[in-house]
Amino acid sequence: MDLTRLSTTELTAHREQLRREYEVLKARGLALDLTRGKPSAEQLDLAEPLLQLPGPGHYQAADGTDTRNYGGLQGLVELRTIFAELLQVPAEQLIAFGNSSLALMHDCLVYAVLFGLPGSVQPWGSGGTTAFVCPVPGYDRHFAICEQLGIEMISVPLTATGPDMDEVERLVAANARIKGIWCVPKYSNPSGIRYSEQTVARLVGMRTAADDFRIFWDNAYAVHHLTAIRHEIPDILQLAAAAGHADRPFVFGSTSKITYAGSGVAFYGASSRNVDWLIGHMSKRAIGPDKVNQLRHVLFLKSSAGVHAHMDRHRALLKPKFDLVQRTLADQLGDSAVASWTVPEGGYFVTLDVLDGCASRVVALAAEAGIALTPAGAPFPYGKDPDDRVIRLAPSYPPLTELAEALDGLVACIKLAAVEHLLDAAVTM
């Protein structure tokens, strides 16, 4: 039923019916969570053999290093070799450190603000407010780092092939305060889009007013496919070097959604000059990473092919959940004209667009009914969606039965919020 074509009388009657259905939903006392893209318990179980590794007496890396001891700030070469192909970074230009790529992004920004980068005239924190370009919808934790550090965020639309490059190029060419751009180039959070070769070529080749401009290339979903097709994205380091801007990209990745979210390995890849810059700063805060954990990852994953095989097992668990999202939304909202959504081929999220001005109401209705959603506005800088339209869905964590309940309840909330909005609009006309 196309709700936008109903008369005021029909909308009023429909609202009363939806309110009755909503009261029944609330009375069920649900406690369901679609807020974050966390691996399910079943996915975490896939990496259980990791906990038995490396085993007593097996602490030596391939070069003879005792992984229990200090040192090796860049990380084990054999682990970097496995992920070099997957992240499109030569092993010698890759750092394996800690368990959180977000922590590496945070540290890179802090070091840039305090000390500057190769190519900087002065630290980013000197001489006025630094700014970042933020394609939207985007990743809320990227925006939180900028907000904490006082970095101004400038939103640009995210299209089906990446950020609106006409707008990006216009902004960065005119304003030397703009020092960087956030990018989730593959199965982007939350829209699931992939950056095109033309977009990447324009990013690395564009003229920037800031000589020390950086692309924060968060390749979080490099191997997180939802179909049998393992989509690839352009090699940004290679393209940047060819364009004469080898220092521009910072590449990030991790095993957080491959093995264990809290006990994985994070990666940073960049030009040799950038790698030396980061290691120089890291050496002041640490003497080396957890190489025992890195060794167990080497022994468990074995090779890039081993990573792909492991991720196929993840896909077998994830795909039914994403299929359920698509089926439920299509069956219950497909002809309603009050919602649209993405159909991702990888990653962890579905972006749901409701009528302008309705996202906050949908989230509030769902919360009252015991269904937790990511806050409306979260995929935007400062938590403010100017159209109050976008809702990020994260179907990975709950079991299928709970996910089905949550989706049915979500649909009820969307319809009720839409009818209320349409009636309000009719009254004010």
Q: Please classify residue 378 by burial: count the beta carbons closer than 10 Å to its beta carbon, then call 0-12 exposed, 13-18 middle and 19+ buried.
A: buried
Hey, CA dihedral for 203, 198, 230, 239, is it positive or negative? Answer: negative
Mean model confidence pLDDT for the chain: 96
∠348-188-179 over CA atoms, to 5°? 135
Give the mean model confidence (pLDDT) for residues 26-55. 94
Q: Quote the DSSP letter at residue 284.
A: T
pTM metric for this prediction: 0.96
Residue type, 300: F
Taking the C-alpha atoms of residue 232 and residue 34, their distance in angstroms, rounded to an integer, is: 28
| 96 has a pLDDT exceeding 80 | yes
Check: CB of residue 314 under 8 Å from CB of residue 37.
no
Name the pLDDT band for 163 (thresholds 50, 70, 90): very high
Give the mean model confidence (pLDDT) for residues 363-388. 96
Q: Quote the DSSP letter at residue 210.
A: S
Residue type, 184: V
| 225 has a pLDDT exceeding 90 | yes
Give the mean model confidence (pLDDT) for residues 231-242. 97
Check: CB of residue 135 under 8 Å from CB of residue 181.
yes
Adjacent-strand bridge partners of 268: 95, 252
Give the SS3 label for residue 145: helix
- Among 299, 237, 256, 200, residue whose Cα is nearest residue 90: 237
- Pull the structure tokens for residue 189: 């959070």
Helix (H) or strand (E) holding 15: helix 8-27
- Among 397, 337, 339, 402, residue whose Cα is nearest residue 371: 402
| Full DSSP string of 26-47 | HHT---EEESS-PPPHHHHHTT
pLDDT tens per residue across span 74-94: 999 999 999 999 999 999 999
Taking the C-alpha atoms of residue 302 and residue 299, their distance in angstroms, rounded to an integer, is: 5
18: left (phi over 0), alpha (psi -120 to 50) or beta: alpha
pLDDT tens per residue across span 298-344: 999 999 999 999 999 999 999 999 999 999 999 999 999 999 999 99
Residue 345 backbone phi and psi in degrees, to 5: -105, 10
| Full DSSP string of 99-138 | S-HHHHHHHHHHHHHHH--TT-SS-TTSSS--EEEEEES-
Residue 396 neighbours by CB under 8 Å, 6+ apart: 37, 38, 39, 40, 43, 318, 321, 348
Hey, CA dihedral for 424, 427, 428, 429, is it positive or negative? Answer: positive
Count other C-beta atoms under 10 Å from residue 85's C-beta. Answer: 15
| 124 has a pLDDT exceeding 70 | yes
- Pull the structure tokens for residue 151: 């970095």
Distance set, CA 304 to CA 81, 84, 294, 308, 316 (Å): 9, 9, 15, 6, 19
Taking the C-alpha atoms of residue 330 and residue 333, their distance in angstroms, rounded to an integer, is: 5
- Among 120, 117, 183, 110, residue whose Cα is nearest residue 148: 110
Taking the C-alpha atoms of residue 328 and residue 170, their distance in angstroms, rounded to an integer, is: 41
Helix (H) or strand (E) holding 153: strand 152-159
Check residue 426 and give its pLDDT: 75
Taking the C-alpha atoms of residue 320 and residue 306, their distance in angstroms, rounded to an integer, is: 23
Check: CB of residue 367 under 8 Å from CB of residue 208.
no
- Angle separating helix axes 304-333 and 77-87, nearest 10 degrees: 40
Share of the chain above pLDDT 90, in %: 95
| Full DSSP string of 325-353 | HHHHHHHHHTTTSSEEE---SBSS-EEEE
- Among 356, 354, 374, residue whose Cα is nearest residue 364: 374
pLDDT tens per residue across span 257-303: 999 999 999 999 999 999 999 999 999 999 999 999 999 999 999 99
Check residue 429 and give its pLDDT: 59
Q: Which of 27-41, 104-118, 207-221, 259-273 has the lowest mean pLDDT?
A: 27-41
Measured between its terminal Cα atoms, the distance across the chain in Å is: 23
Give the mean model confidence (pLDDT) for residues 375-404. 96
Domains present along the chain, CATH in parentheses: 3-43+309-428 (3.90.1150.10), 63-301 (3.40.640.10)
Taking the C-alpha atoms of residue 308 and residue 50, their distance in angstroms, rounded to an integer, is: 16
Taking the C-alpha atoms of residue 410 and residue 376, their distance in angstroms, rounded to an integer, is: 14
